[in-house]
């Protein structure tokens, strides 16, 4: 019976050590839980503050994407005007120019019949311009006024 009392004491001491260990672990785990909850709260506040900024940035990204697709689908007016410039001889002037998609409408004035004829020859030798038609031809004191309509290859 002596051994039961001795082992009983050891069991009691061991149980107390386990209880004390659990008690200390409980405080440690509670402190970690509190720190994690505070960290979560701080990060939630940061997300809430930046929510408007994020929405604004997403809107800008969406607009940039739309702009990029629109610009990619448009033809370059500079290239079209460059083609037109190469075909216009001296003595012929542009009054009005309209570019839509791949169509071009230009109101021109030629000061002489020679510059008008040279313009027609240049148009015939320009493969980038197709479906060409000349309309509304009239002659007055300023020269020969007419409208060129056609399409250009991109």
Q: What order of strands is seen across the sheet that includes strand 129-140?
A: 92-100, 103-110, 143-152, 129-140
Residue 102 or 115, more confident: 115
Beta pairing class for 129-140 and 143-152: antiparallel
Task: With cut-offs at 50, 70 and 90, classify the pLDDT of residue 42.
Answer: very high
Task: With cut-offs at 50, 70 and 90, classify the pLDDT of residue 35.
Answer: very high
**How far is residue 121's CA from residue 92's CA, in Å, rounded to a whole number?**
13
Task: With cut-offs at 50, 70 and 90, classify the pLDDT of residue 40.
Answer: very high
pLDDT (0 to 100) of residue 65: 93
Where are the domains positioned within the chain? 1-73, 77-152
User: The pTM is what?
Assistant: 0.49
Looking at CATH, the fold of the domain delimited by 77-152 is given as Gyrase A; domain 2 (3.30.1360)
Neighbours of 104 (CB within 10 A): 23
């Amino acid at each position: 019976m002596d051994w039961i009392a001795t082992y009983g004491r050891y069991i009691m001491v061991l149980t107390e050590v386990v209880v004390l260990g659990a008690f200390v672990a409980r405080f440690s785990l509670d402190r970690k839980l509190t720190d994690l909850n505070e960290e979560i709260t701080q990060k939630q506040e940061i997300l809430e503050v930046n929510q408007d900024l994020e929405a604004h940035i997403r809107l800008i990204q969406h607009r940039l994407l739309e702009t990029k697709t629109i610009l990619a689908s448009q033809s370059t007016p500079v290239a079209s005007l460059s083609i037109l410039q190469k075909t216009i001889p001296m003595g012929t002037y542009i009054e009005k120019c309209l570019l839509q998609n791949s169509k071009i409408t230009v109101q021109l004035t030629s000061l002489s019949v020679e510059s008008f004829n040279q313009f027609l020859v240049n148009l015939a030798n320009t493969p980038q311009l197709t479906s060409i038609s000349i309309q509304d031809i009239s002659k007055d004191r300023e020269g020969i006024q007419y409208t060129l309509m056609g399409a250009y290859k991109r």
